[in-house]
C-alpha cells in the first residue's frame, strides 16, 4: 500500500505527524507533502522539527514541485490523506485549483477515483466551508474532522490524537489498535 499524506497549515499538525509514525511502524509506504504553513504550524505548536517529520516518510516532495511523481495520475497510489486540512486547501481541492502539490495530488486522487480523506479543521464553520465539504462529500471524498469522542474515556491528548488517526486508517481498512472499539470495553 502507498499513501500520500498532506500536512497543511491548520492547528492539529500532530495528527499528520502521528499518522506518519503509525504508517511507518506498519511498513506502509508514504509520500509526504507539507505546505509552507503546515511546516510553520509544526514549529509553532509541537516540539518536532520538519526534518524529523520528513524522516518518518518514505518519500517527501516540496509543495511547489509540480513535477513530483504524485502530481500525475500515472503514478500509482492507493489514496491520500490530508491531516490536518486547512480551509484554504479544502477550498482549493473543492474548486480544482491545483496551485500547490497538496491540492494537485488531491485533485489527481479524485480524478483517478482513489480514496481521499480530509481531516478538515476549523471552528466555527462558515457556510462557505460547509459548502466546500458537501461538494466533495457528494463525489466520495471522506470529510473526517478530528472530532474528539468521550465514550472511550480518553486519558491524554495522545489518546485523543490516536483515536482520530485510527478513524482515518479505518477508511483504508488498515488494521490497528489505536482506540478501543465499541463493544470491546
Nearest to 61 by CA among 43, 77, 46: 77
The verdict on 33 binding ligand FMN (CB under 6 A) reads no
Binding to ligand FMN, residues 120-159 (CB under 6 A)? 121-122
Between 10 and 71, CB nearer to ligand FMN = 10
| Nearest distance in Å: CB 81, ligand FMN | 14
| CB-nearest residue to ligand FMN | 9
Is 29 a binding residue for ligand FMN by CB under 6 A? The answer is no
CB of 146 to ligand FMN, least distance (A): 10
Stretch that binds ligand FMN, among 17-25, 31-39, 50-58, 166-174 (CB under 6 A): 31-39
From the list 33-41, 52-60, 159-167, 172-180, the region that binds ligand FMN by CB under 6 A is: 33-41
Q: Are 160 and 148 in contact (CB under 8 A)?
A: yes
Alpha-carbon distance 172 to 81, whole Å?
10
Could you give the CA distance from residue 65 to residue 71 in angstroms, rounded to a whole number? Answer: 8
Cα gap 85→82, rounded to integer Å = 5
C-alpha cell at 156: 491524554
Measured from the CB of residue 25, what is the shortest distance to ligand FMN in angstroms? 26
Give dist(CA 155, CA 110) in Å, integer. Answer: 37
User: Is residue 9 a contact point for ligand FMN (CB under 6 A)?
Assistant: yes
Q: What angle do CA 141, 9, 111 make, to 5 degrees?
A: 25
Rg (CA), the chain: 15
Minimum distance, C-beta of residue 142 to ligand FMN, in the bound complex (Å): 18
Instruction: Please tell me the distance from the alpha carbon of residue 116 to that of residue 145, in angstroms, as a whole number.
Output: 13
Site for ligand FMN in 84-123 (CB under 6 A): 86-89, 100, 121-122
Task: Note the residues at the interface with ligand FMN (CB under 6 A).
Answer: 8-11, 35, 37-38, 41, 44, 86-89, 100, 121-122
Amino acid at each position: 500500500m502507498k499513501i500520500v499524506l498532506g500536512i497543511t497549515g491548520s492547528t492539529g499538525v500532530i495528527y499528520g505527524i502521528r499518522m506518519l509514525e503509525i504508517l511507518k511502524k506498519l511498513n506502509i509506504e508514504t509520500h509526504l507533502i507539507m505546505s509552507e504553513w503546515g511546516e510553520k504550524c509544526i514549529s509553532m505548536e509541537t516540539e518536532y522539527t520538519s526534518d524529523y517529520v520528513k524522516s518518518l516518510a518514505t518519500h517527501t516532495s516540496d509543495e511547489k514541485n509540480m513535477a513530483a511523481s504524485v502530481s500525475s495520475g500515472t503514478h500509482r497510489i492507493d489514496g491520500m490523506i490530508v491531516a490536518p486540512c486547512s480551509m484554504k486547501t479544502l477550498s482549493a481541492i473543492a474548486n480544482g485549483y491545483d496551485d500547490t502539490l497538496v491540492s494537485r495530488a488531491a485533485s489527481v486522487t479524485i480524478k483517478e477515483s482513489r480514496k481521499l480523506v480530509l481531516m478538515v479543521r476549523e471552528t466555527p464553520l462558515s457556510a462557505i466551508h460547509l459548502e466546500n465539504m458537501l461538494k466533495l462529500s457528494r463525489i466520495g471524498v471522506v470529510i473526517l474532522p478530528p472530532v474528539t469522542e468521550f465514550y472511550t474515556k480518553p486519558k491524554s491528548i495522545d489518546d485523543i490524537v490516536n483515536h482520530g488517526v485510527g478513524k482515518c486508517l479505518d477508511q483504508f481498512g488498515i488494521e490497528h489498535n489505536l482506540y478501543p472499539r465499541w463493544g470491546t470495553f
